[in-house]
Every structure is written in C-alpha cells, then in structure tokens.
Amino acid sequence: MYRNIGKYGCAILLALCCAAAGGAWAQAYPTKPIRLVVGFPPGGGVDILARLISQPLSQELGRQVVIENLSGAGGNIAAAEVAHANPDGYTLLISAISTLAISASLYPHLQYRLKDLAPVGIVASVPNVLVVNPSVPAHSVKDLIALARERPGKLNFGSAGTGTTVHLAGELFKSMARVDMVHIPYKGAAPAMTDLLAGRIQLMFDFLSASAPHIRAGKLRALGVTSATRSPFFPDVPTIAEAGVPGYEVLGYFGIFAPAGTPKAIVDRLNRGISVVVHMPSVEQQFAKQSATPATQSPEEFSGTLDKDVAKWAALIKATGLTLN
C-alpha cells in the first residue's frame, strides 16, 4: 500500500513535516538575543521608538532585544544588512515604512530588493511636522510659502538623508506649494536637528516624535503637521493642508521587518509580541510623550500598507524626476 502513495501523498507528507518543523521553531524561538537594526544614528525618530519598545519586547519574548545603529544611505545600509541576514528571526529592521517604499523607486541600484524583507508588524504612526528655526520670519505655512517665493533657492530644509520620508515630505511640499527650496541631506535626523536648532538650516519636515520636545521648549516653531487631521498632542498646530496647501498629506508608519524566508511561525510570534508591547499602558504613555500613536496590523495587512505606500511615492518620484545612483 505504501508503495502507491505517489507524488501527491509525498507532497502532503512534506507539507505536514514543514508545518511540524515551523511549529517547533516557533515554540523554541527565541533562544538567543535579537538584533533590532536602526538605519540612523541615535536620537532620531526611528531610534527613539526602537529604544522605547526594546526593553518591554525583551521581556515579552524572554530574550534581550539589542539595538544596533547602522546609519547611512538614507537607511538603506541597515535595510540591506537585514535583507541579507539569515532568515531565522534574530536580525530585524525597524524603519519608517515610507523610507523603504521611497527607496524602492528612488534608488535604481539598491543592494537589496524590497521583496527581500518580510513585513512583521507595525509599531506606531507618527505624522511629520513642518518646523522652522525661530529666526525665520514665518509664523504660518502661508508666511513660509510667501518667504520662499520671495527668496527662491535661499531657504534650506534638512532631512535624515536623501530618499527618507522627511526628504520626500519636503519635495512633496515644494511641488504642491510651487516653491524653490534647497534640500540638505544628513546622515540621520539628529545631526540635521542639531543644525536646525543652531540656525544653520532654516526648516525641516521632521517626525513629530523627535521635534516635540523642541517645540514645547520654544526652540522650534511648528507651522503645520503633515497628517490629514490635527495631532491630538498639538491641537493648536494646523495641518499643512488646511494652512495653505490643500490635499497635502504624509503620515509616517514605523514597522519591523525580518529577512524574507523567515518561517511564518516566527513572524507570527514576533507580530503577537509587538502587538502586546505597543498596547502596554507604560509604552503607550511613553509613545504619547513622543507624539506617537500605537498601531498594529497583521503581517498580511502590513504588506498591503507597504504596497500602497510604494505606489504613492513612486508616482511622486516619477512626477518630480528624482533619481539617485
């Protein structure tokens, strides 16, 4: 009888073996520390959120989650590091989703492909905020547009690097407001913020989580948030859309990725752990201080969100003619 199993029976048997192996991996995982790679220097928006979740996620998973900052190329060095890592769940990437979506269209020669990364789970949503140094004579979005038109090519906006969400937020603003401003890329949001506070650049489209302390301290002036609705953390700051650029919207999601090929059982285990952690009252309180809203999605939902972001930014990049080597 067993000689007549045939190819279909073998296939079923193989599938059962793989399922059993996946279950065993999930039950055993994790057995050693996990690297959580951040593509930017310490102090930026991505790094802040990574550090807020690393300790509670360590407790939830039963193994230490170690932050590793690997900055450069607008976050793409870190993305390539994780994309090429062993797909065993021990090397993960935390990134603004739009950063990866933008890079897929902006860089023709990336050292990885977006399909080399497996979406694991979303951590939080954070709008960007248009902030200016207090020395800039603009107290509203309309003031800034008028100033930029009066001084074409004279206003500099910084970013965490070419191709990052905060860079493209500025490019979208330039396109929709029809102004000429100069992009100054940095190797991370923190050094860009240092120059903005010192007045060496005039403005940024920064993650609200990173700029919030400086806004509250009066060191920066917030002109508008990039989301479709006002932030509950800064209700007096209008959206850029309502303040002078109708239709403008950029909302940043932060998520965690694993190398493609990571067993689904491990991805699901990580997703459950992330979902538990971001809704812990202590973590929600820390997120609120950073003007970040906890957000969770299944890996499948996360993949759909990423696809939509890729399409959105691809259209802008094509329209503006931006490209990088």
pLDDT tens digit string along 94-144? 998 988 998 898 888 899 999 999 999 999 988 899 999 999 999 999 999
Per-residue confidence (pLDDT) for residue 41, from 0 to 100: 87
pLDDT, the chain, mean? 90
Residues 133 and 106 both lie in one domain: no
Per-residue confidence (pLDDT) for residue 226, from 0 to 100: 95
Residues 135 and 235 both lie in one domain: yes
Q: Beta-strand (E) ranges in 9-148?
A: 34-38, 65-69, 91-96, 117-132
For strands 293-294 and 117-132, give the pairing: antiparallel
pLDDT above 70 (res 9) = no
In this prediction, residue 27 has a pLDDT band, given cuts at 50, 70 and 90, of low
Domain final position from 189, 213, 243? 243
Average pLDDT for residues 185-214, to the nearest whole number?
93
Per-residue confidence (pLDDT) for residue 98, from 0 to 100: 87
Per the structure, the count of domains in the chain is 2
Residues 135 and 95 both lie in one domain: no
Evaluated on CA atoms 249, 225, 206, 77, the torsion sign reads: negative
Per-residue confidence (pLDDT) for residue 322, from 0 to 100: 78
Per-residue confidence (pLDDT) for residue 16, from 0 to 100: 52
pLDDT above 60 (res 164) = yes
In this prediction, residue 154 has a pLDDT band, given cuts at 50, 70 and 90, of very high
Is the full-model pTM beyond 0.75? yes
In this prediction, residue 3 has a pLDDT band, given cuts at 50, 70 and 90, of very low
Domain final position from 214, 243, 272? 243
| Residue 45 belongs to some domain of the structure | yes
Per-residue confidence (pLDDT) for residue 163, from 0 to 100: 78
CA angle (157, 163, 164) in 5-degree steps: 70
For strands 156-159 and 203-207, give the pairing: parallel
Lookup: tokens for 300: 């499948």
Q: How many CB atoms lie within 10 A of CB 16?
A: 10
What DSSP designation does 305 have? H
Residues 131 and 239 both lie in one domain: yes
Q: Which of 175, 225, 185 is nearest to 75 (CA)?
A: 185
Tens of pLDDT, residue by residue over 218-274, are 999 999 999 989 998 899 999 999 999 999 999 888 999 999 999 999 999 999 999
In this prediction, residue 72 has a pLDDT band, given cuts at 50, 70 and 90, of confident
Residues 147 and 237 both lie in one domain: yes
